[in-house]
Structure 1
Amino acid sequence: MEVFLTSTVTVTLAEIGDKTQLLSLLLAARFRNKGALILGILAATLLNHGLSAWFGQWLSNSFSSEYLPWLVNISFIVVGLWLLVPDKDEAVSSKYDSYGAFLVAFVLFFIAEIGDKTQIATVLLGAQYQSVFWVTVGTTLGMLIANVPVIYAGNALLKRISLNTVRAIAAFVFVSLGIYGLVTI
């Protein structure tokens, strides 16, 4: 349960204000079929984060157990600090409209997640917890928790939440996890 909850909370917080959340807002403004958008995000996240969690587990099995805890925990701190840097708004081209909401959301989310903070967090969680299934389920739920409200209530929601405050909280969580991990090695 710890793996699932930690994965869900860390990715939910990391996703707030992230470029994929902005992508959700743009797609919601462009497509009426919100269900198809959500299913596209779900499918892309399951695939991307499943591969990422597996890669993290593989990395942890490939590196010396002496150095891995240091690497993982320092990486959590680095990701936490990275969360303080706002993402740039990336527009979605109208040339994708003819492919439908599901396919557009799937392709754009999968690509947007490559090298993103939440993907790196998923790799780290996979390395730390050695549970591809629960890390993937938790991080996917975290992505949905952060993105589904944006799809349905996007503009109104963004007026009420200070992204800087949420980024600071997310950074605090990641840095705290990293420091706690370093102290307990």
Structure 2
Amino acid sequence: MAIFTLTYPKATERLPTYPIVNSDNEAVCVLQQVQRSNIRKILNAATLVAVQQSLPYRFETRTPQGKLLFQVRSTLLTKGISHQIIMPDGSSIPIQRKTVQLLESSYSFTMDGLVFRFEQDFTSTAYLYCNDEKIASAQFVENGIVREGIVYNLFQSDDPLFVALLASLFQTLFALRN
């Protein structure tokens, strides 16, 4: 099992990117929250009832050198929120949401002919499945009531692309609710 971590800075620090490091403390990718411009936020708020409105931010992962790996974009629709994975080449993969219990959701998408599913259990651990095989997990690290970061576990691989995908999905789909 390969373990990767993202550590939150102290409350007084604000970083533009958050490095995700391997067990040797080497950055494998970075997580970044990208804000829309103030003008874009005002336009979005003013036209909330329009057919599609982007939320004021998105999360993306990049290589340590700055190359885009994955971006999860959320769009507010009149009937709910739609999510998509934006690939480095600009193509998008729709993410399908399914309610599995009263308040819990499962998200699925197909990439390169593989069916992925992403869901969170009652312990707030999120799992990534590929063709119904559990391949990765993500969970918060807490010290008392202070959240210190996130741990990403890859069960059968140490591929940084899976870490980047897992980090983008976890931050967008589950971390904001907790």
TM-score range, shorter chain: under 0.3
Under a length normalisation based on structure 2, what TM-score does the superposition of the two structures give?
Answer: 0.24
- Tell me which protein shows more strand as a share of its residues: 2
Larger RCO (CA under 8 A, 6+ residues apart): 1
